[in-house]
Amino acid sequence: MASLLARGVENIVVFLTEPFDTTTAQYQAIGYNQIASLFGQHVFDWKNQASVDANPNSLMLDPAKFAALKAGVESAMKAGGPVFWKDSYAVQPNSWFGIAGGWTCNILWVFNSVSSDWVAQLPSDVQTLLQTDELSDFPYVKVFGQNPRAVINLTPNQANMLGNFGYWMTTSAEAEIRSLLGAG
């Protein structure tokens, strides 16, 4: 995000593979923290199990807009459909990353999140696969070390399910993506 804002990119689509969970300490330290820190919000210190101030060098977007993003994402997650949120943000000056600030960017956040709508469209034998140990955390897959004894190695089921889910998420958000990028 920092490199895009430093270059003045005005329309950004962000695909997030980490959970944006505000209820589980395990996940708060991952996806939630990555987003919250951009807005200067408190983050969760997993090691000490406490809410702490974000690193001040991570503030890049208007803090007042975080509540709407959080509410929109949580609402979409509860609805069971694709999870995405689009808004305009005042870019904050950030000398650490060389961001001038004082301008507005449009961001479409697309979250890799469990979706009952997607699962309902799958054949029953594929739905059964989602109940196996191999896919127990789906759609969350570690970038490194997902399957022990390998740095980067997904099983065919993991790779195929992620590909199908990613396609569904992208096509579900297609109108928003096209609109944001001026191709709509």
Q: pLDDT of 86-144, one tens digit each? A: 999 999 999 999 999 999 999 999 888 888 999 999 999 999 999 998 888 888 777 67
pLDDT of residue 136: 82
The span from the CA of 42 to the CA of 170, in Å, is 30
What is the rounded radius of gyration, in angstroms, for the C-alpha atoms of the chain?
Answer: 18
Read off the tokens for 162.
């992620």
- Output 57 or 30, whichever has higher pLDDT: 57
Does the model's pTM come out above 0.75? yes
- Output 67 or 19, whichever has higher pLDDT: 67
- Output 91 or 154, whichever has higher pLDDT: 91
- Output 79 or 25, whichever has higher pLDDT: 79
The span from the CA of 174 to the CA of 65, in Å, is 23
- Output 150 or 135, whichever has higher pLDDT: 135
Residue 7, pLDDT above cutoff 90 = yes
Confidence grade of residue 77 (pLDDT, cut at 50, 70, 90):
confident
What average pLDDT score do residues 51-74 get? Answer: 90
